[in-house]
Amino acid sequence: MSVEATPTTAVELTQKEILCHAGAIAKHFRDYIDRIKQKQKNFHNWLKKGEHLSESERKCFSHESIRDATTYWTSISQQKKSDFDTQHQTGWRFWAKTSQTVAAAAGQFLNDFKPLVEFASNSGPYGGLAVGAVSGLFAIAQSKSKTDDIIASAMANLMDRLPGFKMLQEIYDESDALQKLLRGKVILAYTGIIEFAMASAKYYLKLGIKRWWLATWNSQKFIVMADRVQGLVLAVRLQSEDLLTSTVNYVRKQNTELANKVKELEAEITQLQKDSDNNKLLSLRNLLRLSGWSPEGWSQSLHEYKGALERARKDSRIFEWMHGESIAKYRDNDKFFKDWNKSHESSMLLIIGLNHRSCRRRDHCWVSPLALQLIDEAQTNDMELVYHVFNFESYTSIHTAMAKLMFQLLKLQRHVNLATLSPKLEKYRDELEILEKHRNERSSKYSSGNSEAVRKALKEAAVAIVRDLDPKQRIRIILDRVDRCEGKEQVHLLHLLIQIMEESRCCVKIFAVANEAFWEVEGYQIEDFEKYQNFKMVTKPRKMTIGG
């Protein structure tokens, strides 16, 4: 049986070819192993006829199982140490010196040999070869002071290659063609070792003159046999490496498919979370009485407002406007704006645009283009933005403005906490409806008392929303024309914005613009805000210029 009879690599074979090749080799296995079985039978008959075995050697040759053999040699190894002469360490004893005794080497060899035996014993008709020949060979070696170096070297090389076969036994225990092929090669290697052991034992048990004749006139016999056995063992390793490559490719493919599946599942989970959050947002939007409203629908009205500001600028060229270069200059040089813009802490900057006394048209604020530029900048840079532009032509209720601000803040939350927010928004809605009902009924006494309850409910709802924001978030709230909030509510809006800034766990930067012509917050009321270090209110007078 030659090593060349075994297949090439699995990469070179299709599955069909592997099966055909495995079938052809199976027949070759049977012929070869049947021949070795007959040799084993003849070998044991030959042993029985001869009287050249000691009792211990005869016992070793009768070992049927790997367990019997390893138990015996482990026992021998523990009973006594080797007494070989270190100056005559040749052959078997030279090989065994690292194990201290031939017995220890035998135990180690048989232990490493065990997976091959188990492979063979679990493979139907191929498992009938006993390990007695190997065990007996060690028994002979223990009694010899010097043995043939070729045989000793072959056993040493086999011992070097056997460790690790147990792992193969544990890993490759499936029924596909490649693994069947591997098991077939393991059986060949096992059978080859048995054949080699029988031939070696028979060689040593012959009379001296016969051994001399074999060594002299048939010196290549053991070289060829040793090479063949080592080749069979090596073929197992090559086949296992080939199978390993196939397995790694399979695992890599499975891992890729699994990773893709995980990504798909993560995407599905994310989408489900988004759908869930969207449903929650719809529920909360209804509580805020914003049914049908969306901040995305503001783009057209914002575009129209920018056009109105541009027309107003062209109509009043002799008066200063925040526009183009003047905005850039202001942002670069104004201390209050730079502090607000660069700070990593929550802060609020309110700019009051003061019109020139000679300016007749006061419906627009000359600072408003700065607020609109900040909105555009945040949207362009994909910043987390909340904004509201009050209608410059009429007054807007604080409740309308805050409802839109709170809804935008809700959309910025990583996960909407419906259980916490719904009760607070429901309370705010109910209090507001009661207030509006009594206002319609002109019940001024009740309306005055209920206004405070509404403001309190609004504050609790707004603060609860900002507290649910992720601490790592950086939010910008941009407001233009806060002076168009209903007169008496302007100061309450200012208080509420500052409380949002103060109560938030994340960084909230608020920028607001007001037209002094409609700003009704009195000086004594402003003093109430001076205690907040992160709040600044700056009045920006409008100058007369030439050419706009």
Q: How far is CA 257 from CA 245, 253, 254, 261, 268, in A?
A: 18, 6, 5, 6, 16
Residue 9 has pLDDT above 50, yes or no: no
Residue 42 has pLDDT above 50, yes or no: yes
What confidence tier does 236 reach under pLDDT thresholds 50, 70, 90? Answer: confident
pTM of the model: 0.54
* pLDDT (average), residues 416-434: 86
Residue 271 has pLDDT above 70, yes or no: no
Segment among 82-91, 302-311, 323-332, 481-490 with least mean pLDDT: 82-91
Segment among 106-110, 237-241, 392-396, 477-481 with least mean pLDDT: 106-110
Query: Using CA atoms, how far apart are residues 77 and 99, in angstroms rounded to an integer?
Result: 10
Residue 548 has pLDDT above 90, yes or no: no
Residue 115 has pLDDT above 60, yes or no: no
Segment among 92-101, 111-120, 495-504 with least mean pLDDT: 92-101
What confidence tier does 406 reach under pLDDT thresholds 50, 70, 90? Answer: very high
Query: Using CA atoms, how far apart are residues 284 and 485, in angstroms rounded to an integer?
Result: 23
Q: How far is CA 111 from CA 34, 127, 333, 382, in A?
A: 26, 18, 85, 68
**pLDDT of 117:** 56
- pLDDT tens profile 55-87: 777 777 776 665 666 666 666 555 544 443 343
**pLDDT of 546:** 58
**pLDDT of 126:** 43
Q: Where are the alpha helices (DSSP H) in 162-219?
A: 165-171, 177-205, 208-217
* pLDDT (average), residues 391-408: 92
Query: Using CA atoms, how far apart are residues 293 and 411, in angstroms rounded to an integer?
Result: 13
* Residue 243 exposure: Cα atoms within 13 Å on the Cβ side: 24
SS3 7: coil
Q: Provide the b/e sequence for 106-115 (b: ≥16 CB within 10 Å).
A: bbbbbbbbbb
Read off φ and ψ for residue 128, nearest 5 degrees: -90, 5
Domains of the chain: 3-260 (no CATH), 302-408+469-541 (3.40.50.300)
SS3 135: helix
**Among candidates 180, 15, 186, which has minimal Cα distance to 117?**
186
The mean pLDDT of the chain is 73
**Among candidates 381, 384, 368, 396, which has minimal Cα distance to 302?**
368
Which of the 8 DSSP states describes residue 543?
P
Query: Using CA atoms, how far apart are residues 242 and 352, in angstroms rounded to an integer?
Result: 79
**Among candidates 148, 134, 237, which has minimal Cα distance to 195?**
134
Retrieve residue 59's tokens.
């016992």
**Among candidates 543, 544, 539, which has minimal Cα distance to 353?**
539
